[in-house]
Every structure is written in C-alpha cells, then in structure tokens.
Amino acid sequence: MEANEHITPKTQNHLSRRRQISLFAKNFFKHPKMLGSIIPSSPFLVKRMLDCVDWQRANVLVEYGPGVGTFTKEILRQMRPDAVLIVIETNEDFVEYIQRAYPDPRMQVIHGSAEDIQTILEERGFDAVDYIVAGIPLSTLPVTVKDNILRATKQAIASDGAFLLYQFSPNIMPHLNQTFSKVTKSFEPMNFLPAHFYHCTP
C-alpha cells in the first residue's frame, strides 16, 4: 500500500497549511516590503473583511496580492457560479502557487501590478468591478506608486462597489481619505500582526 494512502483529509489540510506558511515566510524574507507579515492572514481577518461583500450582487471581484490564497480560497467558495475573480500578483512564486492550488475556471490570475488595474479590466472587457480586496502593504510603497494604485482602484470600482483593505499600519488613512468619498476603519486584533481594516467607497 502506498504511504500517501494513509493521509487523511485532515492531515492533507495540515500539510497544505504548512506548505503555505513555508512559501509565505520564504518570500517574506526575500521581499519584506511587499508582504508586510511573515505568515498569512488569520481566519478572523478574512471573515471580517469578506462579511462586507454582498455575494448575491457581486459579479466581478478583484484581489490584489493574494499571496498563498488565504482570501482567494474563501472568495471562490462564496462567490456566485457565474461571477469572475481577477487576481493580480507581482510575485511569480505566488502566481504559480495560486494557479496550481486553486484551479477554478471563474478565476483569472494576472502576473502584474495593481497600478494597471484599469488596463487589465479593459483587456478583459469589464467596465468596472464590484469589490476589490487587498492586503498589499501600501504604507511601504513609494508615494507615487501608492497614490497611483489608489487612484486607479477608485476609478475601477463601480459607484455602488467597495475597496476592502487591511494594513498593519494606520498611516494609509490620509491617503484613503484624499482618494475615496467615504472611508470607515475598524481593527482586527486576532491576527498576526493585528490589522487595521478599511472599507472604502468611491
């Protein structure tokens, strides 16, 4: 009998989680300013953010910087069968991992930058998106890049849509207030590191 025949679903999930953490940690040490944390987001943070999504209405969703897919997996689980998820990731290791780990025909994985969100949407025939979910550490990016991402994000979101963002530093708040018409802030302590969560509407 093959050894892997003894692996239960629970054990398989545990091994998968260990691989995710290992890959995430390796890339954190390679690109600390691009990740912000050494381990993926907690289930508490994922739930707090995605509870803001109206899944019945959401037709097009975008995720910036999925990493090892902590949010991606839950978005795919909850979104409609006819909805579309566009995932934008600058890190090739994560792009390959996401494509391999979550083979879902509703998802399009793009190796690129969030600055190019409007071009990415136009190339795929979308005028606007309902929700953009992100955890990229905007506070560590150059000011011009950060502002370009925020402006492009606002223009990409439908008038009744939202930008759902978490950060480990509150320094992003003035930039969000300058860009979006309404920004509400909350805090999730059950995460490593504790995270600030922002709900922004255009």
DSSP state at residue 41: P
Q: What is the mean pLDDT of each run of 10 residues along the chain (202 residues)?
A: 41 50 52 48 93 98 94 97 97 92 96 97 97 93 95 97 95 96 94 92 96
Contact 164, 192 (CB under 8 A): no
pLDDT of residue 190: 87
**What is the C-alpha separation between 114 and 62, in angstroms, rounded?**
10
pLDDT of residue 31: 47
pLDDT of residue 146: 96
Q: Kindly give the pairing relationship between strand 84-89 and strand 129-134.
A: unpaired
Q: Is 24 exposed, middle or buried (0-12, 13-18, 19+ CB in 10 A)?
A: buried
pLDDT of residue 156: 98
pLDDT of residue 157: 98
C-alpha dist (Å) from residue 57 to 2, 45, 60, 77, 164: 46, 22, 9, 15, 16
189: Cβ contacts below 8 Å, ≥ 6 apart = none
Architecture of the domain delimited by 3-201? 3-Layer(aba) Sandwich (3.40)
**What is the C-alpha separation between 54 and 152, in angstroms, rounded?**
22
**What is the C-alpha separation between 132 and 126, in angstroms, rounded?**
14
pLDDT of residue 9: 45
pLDDT of residue 36: 43
Contact 160, 125 (CB under 8 A): no
Q: Where are the domains of the chain?
A: 3-201
